[in-house]
Structure 1
Amino acid sequence: MALTQELYATPASRLDSFVAQWLQPHREWKEKVLDAVRTVEQFLRQEHFQGEHGLDRDVRVLKVIKVGSFGNGTILRSTREVELVAFLSCFHSFHEAATHHQAVLRLIWKAIWQSQDLLALGLECLRVEKRVPDAIVLTIQTWEAVEPITVTIVPAYRALGPSVPNSQPPAEVYVSLINACDVPGNFSPSFSELQRNFVKHRPTKLKSLLRLVKHWYHQARHPGSRRPHPQCSRRVQMGHRRSEGLPVPETGLLL
């Protein structure tokens, strides 16, 4: 990937070329990643999880969507991390989603280890990652991909129902969200379709701009042995210290 200094030295008239040359993924590589992710999506859609105490006896995935850069079309080259939000039938409210979140993670974790399709695909590692909210993270090493692919699964309450792009959620959704009074950001995945659609249906020019911003952001946060570029904002440096270098989940970024 190009150095940050090359981006700053690129005139505005050549930014489109910079994005195409350095930031946009190759079609063949992107398809290899998405082929592996489709297998995970198919597993989630077809699996019927056996509910524990307090959950529905039969837990199903109502819908699964790709979020973040893979979902909205702003992926950077060589990105191998894909985040999926799975809307579950056992969540009937924000309160239930918070109460049974850990139980659902256990159900999914157990089912993944028993899935012959995922094991045959090259499942190498499976863990529950502490974040807001907690998520399941699996690492897949396929024969086609040179480097492993990381897939994050976040179970969520389908608060918006069968949403349509650019549709406005009813006010009752936000009232119930406020009344839930949970950890800030814990229910963000329930609104991930709004986040995704906000960018997904925008012109290519805007998506190129978002790629440039993300490229700059990653270079500014992780400059390696080089000193941060003088134009690196102090806010980004402070954000890096506050987060102690931890990655920001895709559902936490509109980009």
Structure 2
Amino acid sequence: MFISGMDQFQTFVQPAKNLFSTRALNSHNKHKHSNTKILAQRFESVTIYERNQVPSTFAPTSVDLTTNGPSTDLYSVTDLDDFISSEIQPDSSFLAGTSQSVDHLVTLLQHNVPARLRPSRVIKGGSLGKGTAVKGKSDIDMTLIMSKYSNVRDLVRDMPDILSELEESLQHVPEISVDGKTRHAVQISFGESSVDILPAVDVTKEITLDEVYRKMTGSDASVKDFYSASLAPLQTELVRNLPTKVKSLIRLIKYWNKEKVKPMLLSRCPTSYLYEVIIMDRWVKTGRPDSFDMTRAAHDVLTSLKNNRDFKILTTELAKYDRRVADIRAETYIMDPCNPTNDLYNSRFWNWDGVSYVA
């Protein structure tokens, strides 16, 4: 039913043809469950836990993009650009207010933690830092570049104490609600935003990025997961520098994911950054256009998600490393362009069959 390979990529930007007229999304929705036998076979092979994450009644439905009031069907929207602008993209007043709040949070972090934990700088990430926030509660990553540490291994050694001290300190700040912590971050709520505070090291202060990657696949392989926070600013910069239209497409897919995929798959729903990498790869393969038809672009991305077992993504044009460095261990993969050891497709037990079904 669907065009694949370079033909599909080219229609992303070329004038609409029959398959890629406004009817494309309707056709996609109508036929997306045509291979139900194959999909059923796939579900037979998954665990009971995985099956329980997907509703037992699988009546094919269109994708509703709103949860309150009259539903807006993605496949019936005639102007996706207008829909993104009016229904998904935050308005300027929200962004300005959030920006002020984030600046205030940076000040609080610099003055309300023990001296040894005070960062040399704070890097704002997440959807707000990348410029891909959607209306409603947005996520923020605050990367604290720790001035007292020069390498990741030393930071890992002290990480439990660092996170405990950070959590304890922030509990005494009235404007901050501490939600808990993970192995890598302290999680807080601040105003309308969820914030992850990640201690990190300026890994390129003394050595080159290529040398960092060699350490991650060599002497520091046992602590490579803890490099993620230190490399997160590269991810933020990569997405932030995308054309506005590409970031609008990212917003659209993130909103679809939030409204339709996440309620079904819960914690086994892929992360926003994973979708961003998929979209950046599709965009690069079309020649990096500044403008394109949003309907055909959405169709292209949804089709790729439907056929996600075909993913072999390592976008060399964007990757910060040579392909030979990439730690690819599976037939299907999505490599983080900023981290050669991070296969996003296989990094966690995502429910990819569920994503395929919804797409």
Give the alignment's TM-score, normalised by structure 1: 0.69
CA distance in 2, matches of 1:235, 1:170: 31
Separation in 1 of the partners of 2:224 and 2:258? 25
Q: Find the partner of 1:193 among 233, 252, 259.
A: 233
Is residue 105 of structure 2 the alignment partner of residue 40 of structure 1? Answer: yes
Following TM superposition, by how much is the alpha carbon of 1:127 offset from its aligned partner in structure 2, in angstroms? 3.8
Instruction: Give the Å deviation of 1:5.
Output: 5.8
Contact 2:65 2:255 in 1 (8 A): no
1:101 corresponds to 2:101: no
1:129 maps to 2:168: no
Q: Deviations over 1:36-62 (max 9, x none)?
A: 322221122345624xxxxxxx34301
More strand by share: 1
Counterpart position of 1:65: 123
Q: Which stretches in structure 1 are left out of the alignment for 5+ residues?
A: 51-57, 142-147, 163-167, 225-229, 245-255
What is the CA distance between 1:6 and its match in structure 2? 2.1
Aligned with 2:254 (options 207, 214, 220): 214
One of 186, 189, 204 as aligned partner of 1:139: 189
Structure 1 window deviating more from structure 2 (1-10 vs 196-205): it is 1-10
Residue 158 of structure 2 is aligned to residue 91 of structure 1 = no
Residue 78 of structure 1 deviates from its aligned partner by 0.8
Give the superposed CA RMSD.
3.2
Specify the SS of the correspondent of 1:76. coil
Deviation at 1:234, TM superposition (A): 7.2
Deviation (angstroms), 1:155: 0.7
Partner-residue secondary structure (3-state), 2:258: helix
Q: What do the CA deviations read for 1:11-53 (whole angstroms, capped 9, x no partner)? A: 4xx2211110111002222333333322221122345624xxx
The one-letter code sitting in structure 2 at the alignment partner of 1:42 is: T
Q: What is the CA-CA distance between 1:235 and the residue it aligns to?
A: 5.1
Deviation at 1:243, TM superposition (A): 4.9
Deviations 1:58-78 (A, max 9, x none): 343011111121111011111
Match of 2:205 in 1: 161
Partners of 1:174 and 1:106 lie apart in 2 by 29
2:153–2:223: 8 Å Cα contact kept in structure 1?
no
Q: What residue is the counterpart of 2:216 in the other structure?
A: 177
Counterpart mapping for 1:236-255 below 5 A:
242-243=349-350
Note the residue ranges of structure 2 that are not aligned, 5 or more in a row.
Answer: 1-63, 265-301, 310-344, 352-359
Query: 1:222 deviation in Å?
Result: 2.8
- Higher CA-based Rg: 2
Asked if the contact 1:82–1:150 (Cα under 8 Å) also holds between the matched residues in 2, the reply is yes
Amino acid at match of 2:213: Y
Cα distance in structure 2, aligned partners of 1:160 and 1:43: 27
Inter-partner Cα distance in structure 1 for 2:121 and 2:128: 17
Tell me if structure 1 keeps the 8 A contact 2:125–2:232. yes
Tell me the alpha carbon deviations over residues 94-140 of structure 1, each in whole angstroms, 9 at most, x when there is no partner.
211211111111222232234xxx41xx33x314322xx43111223
Residue 187 of structure 1, CA deviation: 1.6
Asked whether 1:152 is paired with 2:196, we answer yes
**Distance in 2 (alpha carbons) for counterparts of 1:149 and 1:171:** 35
The structure 1 segments of at least 4 consecutive aligned residues displaced by more than 4 Å after TM superposition are: none
Residue of structure 2 equivalent to 1:7: 74
State the identity as a percent.
Answer: 22
Cα distance in 2 for partners of 1:184, 1:205 equals 34
In structure 2, the partner of 1:26 is: 91
How far apart, in 2, do the equivalents of 1:242 and 1:171 lie? 29
